[in-house]
Amino acid sequence: MQPRMQNPAMILPDAMTGIQHLLKATNSGGVPKRTLELIGLRVSQLNGCAPCLVGHLREARNAGETDERLVTLATWREAPFFTDAERVALELAEAVTRLADRSDEAVPDELWAEVTEHYDEQQISAVLLMIGTLNLFNRINVPIRERADRPSWG
């Protein structure tokens, strides 16, 4: 499959610079790199973004992630391999990625309370920025059919 066009973040270089700054800020927020990569993978799974899945798989492995956890990420609720903090981050990632799927409150107060039990405001900011940045990238890559084996931004 060929991309429909070059990645907009490469056509408008200031966009890529902005995305890189967001990711740099996210990585300085005090959340373990492995957790951030799990978030990136889960959001990309939900959105069907192959290039981001490949990229975050590589980054997760570089951060020391295990195959066991990577293989079971799509079923994290049933898998015993994730910490409570990771679970709440993954649940928040799913809620924010699927905002329109809920007829009631998209991010319920109960979920938010759990998030604040595990993360401080700086860390929550990093988690939310990671979720948002990945959703942005997914929503660019999927419609243009960015290639997983040769992403233009890689």
pLDDT, tens digit, for every residue of 77-136? 999 999 999 999 999 999 999 998 887 788 999 999 999 999 999 999 999 999 999 999
Q: What is the mean pLDDT of the chain?
A: 94
Residue of 103 and 53 predicted with greater confidence: 53
CB atoms within 10 A of CB 145: 13
CB atoms within 10 A of CB 100: 7
Are 151 and 113 within 8 A, CB to CB? no
Are 41 and 56 within 8 A, CB to CB? yes
Helix (H/G/I), strand (E/B), else coil: 112: helix
What is the model's pLDDT at position 154? 59
What is the model's pLDDT at position 103? 75
Can you state the angle between helices 109-118 and 121-144, rounded to 10 degrees? 120
Residue of 119 and 148 predicted with greater confidence: 119
What is the model's pLDDT at position 86? 98
Can you state the angle between helices 13-27 and 121-144, rounded to 10 degrees? 150
* Lowest mean pLDDT, pick from 28-37, 56-65, 100-109, 126-135: 100-109
**Structure token pair of residue 103:** 């007829």
At 14, the pLDDT band (50, 70, 90 cuts) reads very high
Does the pLDDT at position 152 exceed 80?
no
Residue 26 and residue 129: Cα distance in Å, rounded?
A: 6
